[in-house]
Amino acid sequence: MNAETAVAAALFTGVVAYAVLGGADFSSGFFDLIAGGTRRGAPVRTLIDHSIGPVWEANHVWLIFVLVTWWTGFPRSFAAAMTTLFVPLLLALLGIVLRGASFAFRKFAATLAQARLFGAVFATSSVLTPFFLGTVAGGIASGRVPAGGGGDPWSSWLNPTSLFGGLIAVGTCAFLAGTFLTADAERGGHEQLTVALRRRSLVVGVVTGAVVFTALIPITRDAPTLSDGLTGRAAPLVVVSALAGLATLALLARHRYSFARFTAVAAVAAVVSAHEEQRNEIHR
């Protein structure tokens, strides 16, 4: 293995780790967003605070690792992406900052109104951040980032492939987060909360699967190279992701929450790996 391959492997590992760990962390905010009013949503929000409290900042280490490795190992590719996709990247960065600040400030809010405001910012930015990161991935994978950089700052991510990429990023991460939260609720002995989160996670999983299959139609027309790759070299990973997703739904339905966490991780890791495989193929 030469040095370039070793760096690429390290970069790939970091991307998968951030997608799984950071994705589950981010999308816990999705369940905060749909939890309901102050009283009704209190149990879900308390569980979220307990679940992500020890790791919500640590997961960003993977993002730093990915960016530094990408920058030092493949500076031309890094520069091309940054000069083309700076709009969604800045929006994602803004979401990360707002999310972290509001999550911390919500705990020390002086009034209920302030707590609600910080909670709304936390939940909204938790959804928008993975969406914008998904549009970045879609722009790169669909070949809209010129090798020399300086691509169109709007059409590079405001296109069918990128927008569906954003929706899929939100959906898959929310499904992963829901599976983790359901297992945490069961482990904590919160029976009613476990039932509620299980039901919501199943709905999110089914909707996300429908979005993924729906996206195949516009992607075929908008990014034929990406479509050919997903049905070619990356097809085995796509199949693994689909099977792991179905297994997670089945395990949730059968109340096997601890096992469902592993299959959910496998589903997200496989779909990210498929994207990375196709992106590398486009660059070659």
Q: What is the pLDDT of residue 281?
A: 52
Burial class of residue 82 (count of CB atoms within 10 Å of its CB; 0-12, 13-18, 19+):
middle
For the residues 84-113, what does the mean pLDDT come to?
92
* % pLDDT > 90, the chain: 64
Confirm if 268 and 238 have CB atoms less than 8 A apart: no
Report the chain's mean pLDDT, rounded to a whole number.
Answer: 90
pLDDT digits (tens, 9 = 90+) for 202-228: 999 999 999 988 998 898 889 887 888
- How far is the C-alpha of 41 from the C-alpha of 27, rounded, in Å? 16
Burial class of residue 58 (count of CB atoms within 10 Å of its CB; 0-12, 13-18, 19+):
exposed
Higher per-residue confidence, 38 vs 68: 68
Confidence category of residue 263, pLDDT binned at 50, 70, 90 = very high
Task: For residue 61, give its domain range.
Answer: 3-283
**Predicted confidence (pLDDT) at residue 3 exceeds the cutoff of 80:** yes
Q: Which two tokens stand for residue 246?
A: 């179905």
For the residues 39-55, what does the mean pLDDT come to?
86
Instruction: Work out how many domains the chain is built from and give that number.
Output: 1
Q: What is the pLDDT of residue 199?
A: 96
Q: What is the pLDDT of residue 276?
A: 63
> Residue 166 maps to which CATH number?
1.20.1630
pLDDT digits (tens, 9 = 90+) for 126-171: 999 999 999 999 999 888 999 888 999 999 999 999 999 999 999 9
- How far is the C-alpha of 1 from the C-alpha of 268, rounded, in Å? 27
Find the DSSP H helices in 18-59. Answer: 23-33, 42-52
